[in-house]
Structure 1
Amino acid sequence: MTLETGGGGRHVFRLIKGDYHRHGRSVLDAAFVSLEIYRYGRWASQLTNPVARWIANKIYGVLRVFILNVTKVWIPPQVVIGDDFHIIHAEGMLSIHPDVVIGDRCGIMHNVTIGRNMGDGAPVIGDDVFIGVNSTVLGNIRIGDRVRIGANTAVSTNVPSDSTVIGSPARIYPRLALFGQAGSKPAARAQAQKSEGD
């Protein structure tokens, strides 16, 4: 999981280019704009020159008002996000707590909240995770890699890798094992036909 957005101008350009392509290749797309403002805020907070950091953070403060009132997508600069993050729809609200950690290649739909649950600690989300519309992921929990969280799901417990989570309260089902069994049927059938021919 790549956790930092630093690493020089080329790295930043690569991040922005990737964001642009994932979000409809439009600089007016609300998801793209919101993500770039997040990246700017993160960059501003990491400046070592105190004067430059102060000025950059004041500019970010103005942009933050834009986020909250126009795009409704709120990703504080303290959030740690891996590579290839995708806000799939920015047609509703998205709120992420500052302490959240999100892995690589994660996709989030609209009207999602990720944050604390009446206590310390926020979710740590693995790689290749999808979070469906109107879902909440709350508390000091770990969401494993390749997890699919269905629409209208409330998650407040750890979820192992390769799982599907559905419902409120959430129910956890193994994901890849089911697909593996289904996928094995044609192979088993082909093997049986081969045996019959021999």
Structure 2
Amino acid sequence: MIYIFRLSSLLHRLRVPFLPWILKVLNRILFSVALPPSVKVGRNVTFGYQGLGIVVHRHAVLGSNIVIAPNVVIGGRGRPGAPVIGDDVLIGAGACVLGPIAIGKGARIGANAVVLTDVPPGATVVGAPARMIED
């Protein structure tokens, strides 16, 4: 899954027509992941269960060493902008990270959390809407 995305992203940056989007559709069919070639993805990003049910906004930025569990949505809220996820972040199963927000380095997002505001580095957020908890 990630290799198809990386090839698609490379072709997108080289401005090759159609082929990046065909590879995106192939990823969608084979792995049920919506990961457009325009997404910026860092190193060592792990998509749980090969990306099953994960949807990522086309302008999102994902840092390095991120773990994203299945059925996560990283998307917009109908206005310009998309989430920016920092390095070393853990996103639990079914979580929604929505809007032009920033998730700080080392943050943890609980399962099924709905994150609508910025999350500071190292924080843990849970719930709908997400709120910080003490570790």
Report the TM-score, using the length of structure 2 for normalisation.
Answer: 0.92
Report Cα offsets for 1:125-181 as digits up to 9, x if no partner: 11100000011000010100100101010001000011101111111124xxx4xxx
Report Cα offsets for 1:10-48 as digits up to 9, x if no partner: xxxxxxxxxxxxxxxxxxxxxxxx211111111112227
1:150 is aligned to 2:110: yes
1:76 is aligned to 2:26: no
Q: Larger Rg: 1 or 2?
A: 1
1:94 is aligned to 2:47: no
Measure the CA separation in 2 of the matches of 1:98 and 1:91.
16
Secondary structure, aligned partner of 2:132: strand
Contact 1:133 1:152 in 2 (8 A): yes
Structure 2 partner of 1:41: 8
Contact 2:77 2:98 in 1 (8 A): yes
Alpha-carbon shift at residue 120 of structure 1 (Å): 1.1
More strand by share: 2
Secondary structure, aligned partner of 2:27: helix
Q: Which amino acid aligns with 2:8?
A: G
Query: Which runs of no fewer than 5 residues in structure 2 stay unpaired?
Result: none
Aligned length: 135
1:141 is aligned to 2:106: no
Measure the CA separation in 2 of the matches of 1:111 and 1:134.
5
Alpha-carbon shift at residue 68 of structure 1 (Å): 1.8
Measure the CA separation in 2 of the matches of 1:164 and 1:141.
15
Computed over aligned residues only, the root mean square deviation of the Cα atoms, in angstroms, reads 1.6
Query: Which runs of no fewer than 5 residues in structure 1 stay unpaired?
Result: 1-33, 179-198
Pair 1:119–1:91, CA change in 2 (3 A): closer
Q: Which amino acid aligns with 2:63?
A: G
Measure the CA separation in 2 of the matches of 1:156 and 1:136.
8
Whose RCO is larger (CA < 8 A, sep 6+)?
2
Pair 1:116–1:155, CA change in 2 (3 A): same
Contact 2:33 2:51 in 1 (8 A): no
Structure 1 partner of 2:45: 85
Report Cα offsets for 1:91-145 as digits up to 9, x if no partner: 7301101110111100100000001012111111111000000110000101001
Contact 1:90 1:109 in 2 (8 A): no
Contact 1:123 1:142 in 2 (8 A): yes
Measure the CA separation in 2 of the matches of 1:89 and 1:167.
23
1:110 is aligned to 2:110: no
